[in-house]
Chain A
């Protein structure tokens, strides 16, 4: 036994500690996450955010009257908080979109939202392309929770238009809001209907990444259940009630108590686990690797096509120059072209001669 452990020690290089090093460094650096919430007024967005992060972000907020909302435009309001848990620091930014869908005429009411997301991309693009990149602030939106009202039969035109305007800019997670107005059967029907309509209209919502094949069965089963449960039907609460001898977040009704964290009452726990405990980093990755990269590529393409039209303008950011040949190079190219042609002709002639000789 001694010999094998000695051998093992000799063969042990030590890079197996890398994950620990990553962990240590990341704890030191801290994390940041930007979450956007969107949906009509009264869908319980603020209550849900408070329930998710177990804090009260919305003290002293003013709600508008119906009269004030007739011609309301959509605003973007950011709340940033620093929270810490077991030594891990998180800078959490919640982006609110009050006024969405509240006016009588909601034509293009999502435009301020798409503009905001693009602005964050643009800012990051500039920062990334700058000379001093030490302290880049990442304000890009990593995830957008979209609240669908539970009162209807499925998606409404405004829901479809909003998601289609945003699905290539941000990870969209659709939620069924205020799910305590639906019986279990009604929830299932509505979820099926919404999934069908999302497919039908070609909306690309955030997809959970596939499990690795070497994960254990239990994990795979949980993952499967999670995916089949979308869109999550959620309930939020700002109040703590006494239920079954415990103090829990819930809603008190004359006919019973709805517990926010009871999985047979709603999907809140699934959402929290997915959003915070398992997929927060994947949401960030998809934002950086897919949405941001798409934006960047598009931006560069537009810029270079403009540059090609206007020779005097210099590129404002360092990018690999696409070949816009100057005069000398063009001459060279022409010469080489002609040479090539000549050689091709000679070759053809020789081939012909050979052909004739054969005959």
Chain B
């Protein structure tokens, strides 16, 4: 039978635990002939080849440190890439998905780049977008897993399987930003630290540098990915590779003629650094470990360890437990009912609040409107009174005027009658 790890990816860990706890008695039987179940691994393999594989790499490192070039070199292809600027306001993650094929194996590869990392003057928040991205991929998977109608076999798994952390080749030690960031990431993702642009460090300096980096990681409790040594087939090579961490890599897509071969290399006035020459750099080791030997283990660890941790924390946050106060396993049904009641109760309360608020508002507005109405009414009354007052005054004046006119007319008539009776005297008097 193949190693248990291969099978477990297809069973829920939880159900396996339950089966073991029942303390079944197992007996070993010997077979009388060839049954044929030794073909199971092949069946598994052919199924997974048909399904296709999916692998997601996160590259964390400062702008210009060689992330894109290394990816191109690792996968022997030119992924599209524009040169990033140093003047981003913050860090943002740029995922790109590619479909690759080698013999009959399909690989859906996603490379996530950290743009702007290390460029800001204040880098206290630089790790946050990275952690958020990783959590979001976990969350998306969790959501799919919790769905009623789910299609996990069809689901495009975007969870990060490996984080390559690019360390600048200063030759002294880690940068403070490196330490802070790796501490935030080590419980969420498999980290492989690598020394970038390693063709600037001489052999003796490199040895000291690697030791210093590893001791700083250990003394600060940073958990990096260990190549697994439990599988005999690969335990020896993995163990020896573990001792070479962090890998000192050089990337190049340019080819240089060395002897009678053309190899990927960097040409300097003083010599040619060959990417695939193991005495020049650890590129071959990285490729071997990352792609050719442990890719599947990385996917497994991501699912079985990092994702499970995320899921457990998230569900605990939401209030779920595996056992109730009496240590009996909780029925999901009961928990769900309880949560639902609580939620509905909450909703009702909120509705009440809003209704109350609405009623209050309506009352207020009504009162305001009434007040305004009254004011208008008063004004109208006032105007009416003023108007009447004026009218009365005008009437009086008119009557006065009429009286005056009458009086005047009477006088006029009286004067005329007088002048008619004594016209000459009056005139003569007048002339005098």
- A interface with B by C-beta (< 8 Å): 40-43, 63, 65-67, 69-70, 72, 102-107, 109, 149-158, 161, 178, 180-181, 183-184, 251-259, 262, 264-265
List of A residues within 8 angstroms of B84 by Cβ: 153
Q: List 22 A-B contacts (CB under 8 A).
A: A63-B173, A66-B174, A66-B175, A66-B176, A66-B220, A67-B179, A70-B176, A104-B123, A151-B62, A151-B65, A152-B64, A153-B85, A156-B63, A157-B86, A157-B120, A161-B121, A181-B200, A253-B271, A254-B203, A254-B279, A256-B271, A258-B270
**Interface pair B123/A256, CB less than 8 Å apart:** no
Provided the pairs A66-B174, A153-B83, A255-B272 are in contact, do residues A104 and B180 lie with their beta carbons within 8 angstroms? yes
Residue B268 is within 8 A (CB to CB) of chain A in the complex: yes
Query: Are B199 and A253 neighbours in the complex by a CB distance under 8 Å?
Result: yes
A65 touches B62 (CB 8 A): no
B258's nearest neighbour on chain A, judged by CB, is A255
Question: A107 to chain B: which residues have CB within 8 Å?
Answer: 121-122
The stretch that binds A, out of B30-38, B163-171, B232-240, B397-405, is B163-171
Q: A41-B172, A255-B274 are in contact. Are A104 and B280 (CB under 8 A)?
A: no
Q: Do B86 and A154 touch (CB < 8 A)?
A: yes
Asked if A180 and B268 sit within 8 Å, CB to CB, the answer is yes
Contact between B170 and A42 (Cβ–Cβ < 8 Å)? yes
Q: How many whole Å from B372's CB to the nearest CB in chain A?
A: 56
A7 to B425, CA, bound (A): 150
Contacting residues, chain A, for B172 (C-beta < 8 A): 41-42, 63
Chain B residues within an 8 Å CB radius of A155: 86
Whether a CB of chain A sits under 8 angstroms from the CB of B216 is yes
SS class, residues of chain A in contact with chain B:
loop
Partner of B200, one of A154, A178, A252: A178
CB distance from A222 to the nearest CB of B (A): 21
A contact residues around B274 at 8 Å (CB):
255
A41 / chain B contacts, CB cutoff of 8 Å:
170, 172, 175
A255 contacts B120, CB within 8 Å?
Answer: no
**A153-B85, A153-B86 provided; 16 other pairs, C-beta below 8 A?**
A41-B170, A41-B175, A63-B172, A65-B173, A67-B219, A105-B123, A105-B124, A106-B121, A151-B168, A151-B197, A153-B83, A157-B86, A178-B169, A253-B203, A256-B272, A258-B268
Q: Does B177 interact with chain A (Cβ within 8 Å)?
A: yes
Chain A proximity of B231: nearest CB distance (Å): 33
C-alpha spacing A256/B200, complex, angstroms: 12
Question: CB distance B202 to A72 under 8 Å?
Answer: no
Asked if B273 CB lies within 8 Å of chain A CBs, one says yes
Q: In the docked arrangement, what's the CA distance between A156 and B116, Å? A: 10
For the complex, give the distance between the alpha carbons of A104 and B381 in Å.
75
Which residues from chain A contact B280 at a C-beta distance below 8 Å? 254-255
A95 to chain B, nearest CB (A): 20
Q: Is B365 in the interface zone, CB < 8 Å from A?
A: no
Contacting B266 at CB < 8 Å: which of A66, A150, A158, A183? A183
B86 near A69 with CB under 8 A, answer no
CB of B282 closer than 8 Å to a CB of A: no
On whether the beta carbons of A42 and B203 are closer than 8 Å, the reply is: no
**Most chain B CB atoms below 10 A, which of A109, A151, A158:** A151
- The chain A residue sitting closest to B168, CB to CB, is A151
List residues of chain B with CB within 8 A of the CB of A157. 86-87, 119-121
- Asked if B298 lies at the interface with its beta carbon under 8 angstroms from chain A, I say no
Nearest A residue to B89 by beta-carbon distance?
A: A157
Contacts of B173 in A (CB 8 A): 63, 65-66
Roughly how many angstroms separate A264 CA and B219 CA in the complex, as a whole number? Answer: 43
Which of chain A's residues has its CB closest to B250's CB?
A: A181
* Residues of chain A within 8 A of B120, CB atoms compared: 157
Interchain CA distance A107-B126 in the complex, whole Å = 14
Give B121 Cβ to nearest chain A Cβ, in Å: 5
Q: Min CB distance, A44 to chain B, in Å?
A: 8
A104 to B277, CA, bound (A): 36
* A258 cross-chain contacts in B, Cβ below 8 A: 268, 270
Contact B270 A257 (CB under 8 A): yes
Minimum CB distance partner of B64 in chain A: A152
**With the chains together, A262 CA to B174 CA distance in Å?**
31
- In chain B, positions 116-151 with a C-beta closer than 8 Å to chain A are 119-124, 126
The reply to whether A65 and B216 form a contact with Cβ atoms under 8 Å apart is: yes
Q: Tell me whether B267 is interfacial, beta carbon within 8 Å.
A: yes
- Whether A256 lies near B202 (C-beta < 8 A) is no
Task: List the B side residues contacting A158 at CB < 8 Å.
Answer: 121
Judge whether B269 is part of the interface by a CB distance below 8 angstroms: yes
A70: min CB distance to chain B, Å: 4
Instruction: Tell me whether B276 is interfacial, beta carbon within 8 Å.
Output: no
Residue of A63, A69, A157, A181 contacting most chain B CB atoms (<10 Å): A181
**Do B63 and A153 touch across chains, with their CB atoms under 8 A apart?**
yes
Task: List, in ascending order, chain B residues with CB within 8 A of A255's CB.
Answer: 199, 268, 270-274, 280
With A180-B200, A251-B202, A256-B271 as contacts: A104 and B121 at CB distance below 8 Å:
no
Give complex CA distance A154, B86 in Å: 8
Residues of A with C-beta under 8 A to B273? 253, 255
Known A70-B179, A254-B279; judge A153-B119 contact (CB<8 A). no
Interface flags, B193-223, vs A, CB<8A=1, else 0:
0001101101100000000000010011000
Of chain B, the residue at the smallest CB distance from A157 is B121
Cβ–Cβ < 8 Å partners of B196 in chain A? 151
In the docked arrangement, what's the CA distance between A298 and B53, Å? 69
B169: which of A72, A181, A184 is its contact (CB, 8 Å)?
Answer: A181
Instruction: Kindly state the separation between the CA atoms of A184 and B269 in the bound complex, as whole angstroms.
Output: 8
Q: Which residues of A contact B180 (CB under 8 A)?
A: 70, 104
